[in-house]
Structure 1
Amino acid sequence: MKLSDYDYELPKHLIAKYPVEPRDSCKLMVLNRKTKTIEHRIFRDLGDYLEEGDLLVLNDTKVIPARLKGKKETGANIEIFLLRPFSENLWEVLIKNIKRLKEGQEVIIAKDFKVKLVEKYKEGKAKVELIGNNIKHLIEKYGHIPLPPYIEREDEEKDKNYYQTVFAKKEGAVASPTAGLHFTEELLKKLEKKGVNKAFCTLHVGLGTFRPIQTEDITKHKMHEEFYQIPDETLKLIEETKQKGKKVVAVGTTVVRTLETYAQTGKKEGFSDIFIYPPYEFKMVDALITNFHLPKSTLILLVSAFANRDFILKAYKIAVEKQYRFFSYGDAMLIL
C-alpha cells in the first residue's frame, strides 16, 4: 500500500476560498460504482438519486470558534487553538510559538479574557486554564472560526455562518463536517416530502483531519482520535432501512467513520481512531456524499476504499478538467 498511489495534480486556483451561494447550488459529481458512470449535476438535484425510504445520516456537530489570538504581557503575539475541554475552564490546546511561554504565564486575549499555561505536552500541545466570566460566551465573542490552512485567508464574520451546517447542534468540532455544508433547509424539506428519512450522529471533527500521512507505507500511519456518539433512534432507523432494502446514505466521511466504528466495536459512544483504506468491507453505508479531498490524505483513501482507487482518481482528473472547486468550501460528490 503506497501513499504515492493516491496522489493527483491540482491547480491551486481550484481550491475554493469561499462557498457558492446558495449552498445547494454547488456542482455535484455523481459516481455509480456498478455502471462505472460519472454524471455532472447540481447539488439541489440530489433527490433525483434518492428514493422513498432511503436514509440520510448527518453529523450534527457544531464548530467552535477555536482560534484565540492574544499577547503576552511583553506584547509578543501568541495564537492558541482550542482542541478539547477537560472542564469548562481547563482545555487541551495547541499553541503557536509555545517556546515563548513558560508554565504559569498568561496570554491576554482581551481585558476580560486570559489564558494561563498550566502544563506543556508534546508537539506544541498544552493544558491551559481559561480565565474570565462565562467562558462559553467569551470563546464565542473573541474566538475565530478555524478555517483550514489551505484556504489561505483570514476568517471573516460571514464564515461563522458559511462554515457551519444548517443542522449543527452539538458544540465540539474544530473543523466542519464539510459534506453537510451543501444542504439548505429548503433541500432538506424537499427530500423529506419525497419520503427520504434523516437521522443524526455526532463526531467532533478534530485538527487531525488535516494531518498529512507521513509514511509511504500507508499501514504505518497512526490516526487521530475523535469523540463520537450515535443515538439509539439512529441505529433503529438504519436497521429498518436495511431491512426494507433501502439505501443508508452517509453525509460525509465523518459519518462513515462513526458508523463503521460502531460496526467494529459495538460501542454507541467513545473515541474513534478508525483508519479506512483499500481494501475495506463497509458494513453500514450504501452510498456516500462527500467533498473532493486532498491528495495523499486519509480521506482520499477512505473514498478509494468505498469506490475503487482507479475510479476515484479518474473522477478527480475529470473534476480538474471541468473546473470543479476543491476541499472544504468546494463542490460535492455522490457515490452510489
Structure 2
Amino acid sequence: MCAYTSDFELSSYDYILPPELIAMHPTHPRCDGRLLVYYRESGRIEHRHFRDFCEVVPRDYALVCNDTKVLKARLYASREGGESVREILFHKAFGKSRFLVQIRGRTKVGAVFRICDRTKYPTHFSMRVLEVLDNGLRVVEFGSADSSAPLGISELYVMLESCGHTPLPPYIKREDTLEDSTDYQSVFASNAGAIAAPTASLHFSEEDFARIGALYKVCFVTLHVGAGTFANVQSQDIRAHTMHSESYALSSQARDAILGDSKLLCIGTTTARVVEYFWRTHQSQGLCDLFLHPGNVPQRMDALLTNFHFPKSTLLMLVSAFVGREEVMRIYECAIAHKYKFFSYGDGMLIL
C-alpha cells in the first residue's frame, strides 16, 4: 500500500464522536458486546456480537493473547499535616525500592504522604517524594509503620491490592467500583504489572474463553500496558512521535507460533505490537517501543481484534497501518452510524 502524505498528518486521524457513544460501563454479559467484522480482501462489513466469535473466525488461526494483569494502581493519600486527599497513579518500578508515580497537584522533594484505604482513611503506609522529573513524574519510596526498610516491589503489590483502586481511564469520570476490579481485567490475566487493561481481551468470559481454547490454538505474550497508551501525539508529522516503551515477554508457545506457519490473530493492539516487535528483533523479552503506522506496517499479523480508539491516537494509527487510513475512517463512520460503543469498555472490531 502506498502511504500518501496525508497518512502522516496528525489531523488525518481526527473524527467526531458523539459523547453518548463513549462507554462508561462494560456490557454484561460480555458475549452481548457488539462486534463489527471487517474483511480486508473485500472491504465487507458485518455486524455481529461476541457470541458469534467462533462462528466468524476460521479454525486455522492461532490466537495470541496478552496475559498482563492490571494492578490496582490508583491510590489516594493525604500529605502529612492535614492536607486534603490527593490522587496518585503508580506507574512502574524505578529500582529495587524506588518507583515512578504521578501525583495530582504540585509536590516538592521531601514531601511525605499517608496512603489511604478505600474509604479515604489514612493507613500505616506512607510515601516519600525523592525526585521530581522533567516529565512531571515523581520518584518515590513507600514505607510501612511495621518496618524501617522501604517496600520492595512484591510488598508494594500487596499494598496496592489492599489499598489501591482500579485505574479506570481518565475519560471515565466516576469512582471505580468493586465490579470494575473484575470488569477491567481479562479472564486470563496472570502476570501483574499493567496500569491499563488490554481492552480487546475484556470481551471474553471464562466460559467463552474455554470454548475458544477447545477450538483454536491459543498462546500468550505479556506486555505491561503503561500510561503511555493514553499519551497524545504532539507532532503534526506522526513519524516524529516518540513512542512510549513497555516491558514485554513471550512464552515459548508464542515464539513458536510467530516463527512458524500459523495464521496469527492478535487479540488487541498490545499483542500486535509484541508480535511485530519480536518478528523484527527475535528478542523474547525487554522493552517494546514499536510504533506501527502506515509508514511502518505489520509484517507478521494476519488478523486483529481491537476496540474503537481515540481520535489522533497511536492505536488508531496502528489499525490504519493494517487496514489503510481511509478505510479505517470509513469503518469508523459506519460504527458511529450504527451506534457502536467506543473506547475501553466499548464494543469490538474484528479485522480478518
Secondary structure of 1:135 counterpart: helix
Amino acid at match of 1:300: L
Q: How far does the alpha carbon of each residue in 1:291-335 deviate from its partner, in whole angstroms, 9 at most, with x for none? A: 000011100000011011121111111111111000000000000
Q: 2:40 aligns with which of 26, 33, 39?
A: 33
Structure 2: how far apart are the matches of 1:199 and 1:330? 24
Q: Deviations over 1:29-62 (max 9, x none)?
A: 0000101100000012111222334211000000
Map of 1:23 onto structure 2: 30
How much has 1:185 moved relative to structure 2? 1.6
Which one of the candidate residues 209, 221, 230 is aligned to 2:229?
Answer: 209
| Alignment partner, residue 273 of structure 1 | 289
8 Å contact 1:89–1:131 — kept in the other structure?
no
Quick one: which of 97, 102, 112 aligns to 1:106?
A: 112
Distance 2:136 2:341 in 1: 32
Pairwise mapping of residues 25-104 of structure 1 onto structure 2 (< 5 A)?
25-76=32-83, 77-87=85-95, 89-97=97-105, 99=106, 101-104=107-110
1:91 is aligned with what amino acid?
F
| C-alpha displacement of 1:88 | 6.0
Please tell me the residue identity of whatever aligns with 1:270.
Answer: G
1:224 to 244, 267, 275: 244
Asked whether the equivalents of residues 33 and 307 of structure 1 are also in contact (C-alpha less than 8 Å), the reply is yes
Q: Distance in 2 between matches of 1:177 and 1:215?
A: 25
Amino acid corresponding to residue 197 of structure 1 in structure 2: K
For residues 54-103 of structure 1, the C-alpha deviation after alignment (integer angstroms, 9 at most, x for no partner) is 21100000010111111112322322211101356421111211x3x332
Counterpart-to-counterpart distance in 2, 1:135 and 1:301? 35
1:282-297 to structure 2, matched below 5 A, reads 282-297=298-313
What is residue 234 of structure 1 aligned with on the other side?
254
Q: Do 1:65 and 1:144's aligned partners in 2 also have CA atoms closer than 8 Å?
A: yes
Letter aligned with residue 137 of structure 2? K
Distance (Å, rounded) in 2 between the aligned partners of 1:279 and 1:142 = 44
2:96 and 2:235 map into 1 onto residues whose CA distance is 37
Residue range with higher mean Cα deviation, 305-314 or 172-181: 305-314
Distance between the aligned counterparts of 1:295 and 1:231, measured in 2?
Answer: 33
What is the match of residue 8 of structure 1? 15
Bigger mean CA offset, 185-194 vs 222-231: 185-194
Paired amino acid for 2:247: F
Q: Which of 143, 146, 150 pairs up with 2:171?
A: 150
5+ residue gaps in structure 1?
Answer: none
CA RMSD in angstroms, aligned pairs only: 1.4
Q: Which amino acid aligns with 1:167?
A: F
Residue 144 of structure 1 and its aligned partner are, at CA, apart by: 1.1
CA–CA distance in 2 between the matches of 1:183 and 1:70? Answer: 34
CA shift at 1:235, angstroms? 1.1
The answer on whether the counterparts of 2:223 and 2:274 sit within 8 Å (CA) in structure 1 is: yes
Give the AA of the match of 1:146.
Answer: P
Which of 158, 162, 172 pairs up with 1:141?
A: 162
**Deviates further, 228-237 or 299-308:** 228-237
2:183 matches 1:183: no
Task: State the Cα distance separating 1:256 from its structure 2 match.
Answer: 0.7
The share of aligned pairs that are identical, in percent, is 42
State the secondary structure of the residue aligned to 1:16: coil
Change (3 A) 1:323 1:57: same
Question: Match of 1:151, SS?
Answer: coil
CA displacement 1:118-152 (0-9 Å, x = unmatched)? 11111221111111254322211111111111112
Which whole-Å CA distance do the structure 1 matches of 2:233 and 2:329 have between them?
A: 18
- The amino acid that maps onto 2:345 is Y
2:150 maps to none
Partner of 1:173: 194
Amino acid at match of 1:296: K
What SS does the aligned partner of 2:171 have?
Answer: helix
- What residue in structure 1 maps to residue 151 of structure 2? none
Structure 2 distance, partners of 1:124, 1:11, is: 32
SS in 2 for 1:62: strand
Structure 1 residues 66 and 202: CA distance shift in structure 2, 3 A: same
TM-score normalised over the length of structure 2: 0.90
Structure 1 residues 139-166: Cα deviation after superposition (integer angstroms, max 9, x where no partner): 1111111111111212111110010000
2:128 paired with 1:120: no
Q: Which amino acid aligns with 2:339?
A: Q
For residue 183 of structure 1, report the CA deviation from its aligned partner: 1.0
